[in-house]
Structure 1
Amino acid sequence: MSEQEYVPFFANVQLSPTAEGDDRPPLPTTGSEREILTAFLDWHRATFELKCRGVAAARLSDRAIPPSGLSLHGLVRHLAGIERWWIRQHFAGEDLPMLNYSDEDPDQGFDRLDGDVEAAFAAWRVERNRARTIVAEAPSLDATCRSPVTGKEISLRYILVNLIAEYARHNGHADLLRERIDGATGL
């Protein structure tokens, strides 16, 4: 087979599905590194929100896949904390308390589902929006910070890739949770 005849399996895959209610913008296939990384991160953020859309508030706390304790409510609490941890606390150096985490109870974001679900989504949106602003204002993806945990220098590029991976992993969890809750798939 010549190189010209080879067609990769993903050649005809649409990068941004257009299912009913899917308001995610299409992913760019060209652009600067910052444009590509931030677009993919925003796409994954929007994917998570889409997977939760239409679920009754009471069902968002369902731990639908035993023995796992994961729930959509717990995931949104965790993702709010992750946004704060990586962008605001690490990269921007903001002196803020951890969200839904302590050394004594590191899984509280997933385990403690007290509180209003809408408040959890509001907190996540605040963290997401603040993270977007910080990233947009950074001089370059080469800008660095020092990890308070490891002491290693890390770049904004590394943080963005890490966040994309975090969202991709949890979007897979959200897929399974949503399907178990109401049968919705392919969001």
Structure 2
Amino acid sequence: MTLRKGRLIGLIIGIALLMIFAIKILPGLMFASAIPEPHSIELDKVTATKFISDIESYGKIFELDDCQRYTKRINGISVRMNEKENDNEYGTYYKLILKDESIDEKVFENFRKYLDESELRTYQKIEDYSLFVVDGFLDNIWGYLYLHSDRELGTEYFNVDHHSIKIIEDLGDNWYRIAGS
């Protein structure tokens, strides 16, 4: 009888541990697996260089993201995609910003769509850098940097706007894989 009782207690403890794992640990693992690894988003240098050329030629956008995440920005201005404010978005309605900045909506949509489809997520032109942040967690970021000049970049951290950037890999043609905060 004690052997059956021992197996029953073991079974109950096993089920309880399985439930704790399923409720507490598994969701965290699923979230972590949704974060792309630094080498999981490949850079198409030709297309990204054309994007930079096109956005610079347009001349009205120096910061843009794919507008798919909670925080959305156009030229340093927080925007929301829904006309009516709600709990899931904040900022000014994006069409008002496009009008204020004299940005054509179709042009904006083409640039935004490129960031979404390429998974480069955000673009920012700062001095002689074009910075594409692919992802990050808490205070860390990773992505790609294009240098618009021929100067050499060292291996130490350097500042690009409010980011502290370190070159992880020289990809050639003035492109670099970066990490930072």
TM-score bracket for the superposition, by shorter chain length: under 0.3
Which structure dedicates a bigger proportion of its chain to strand? 2
User: Structure 2-normalised TM-score?
Assistant: 0.25
Higher relative contact order, structure no. (Cα contacts within 8 Å, ≥ 6 residues apart): 1
Structure with bigger gyration radius:
2
Which structure dedicates a bigger proportion of its chain to helix? 1
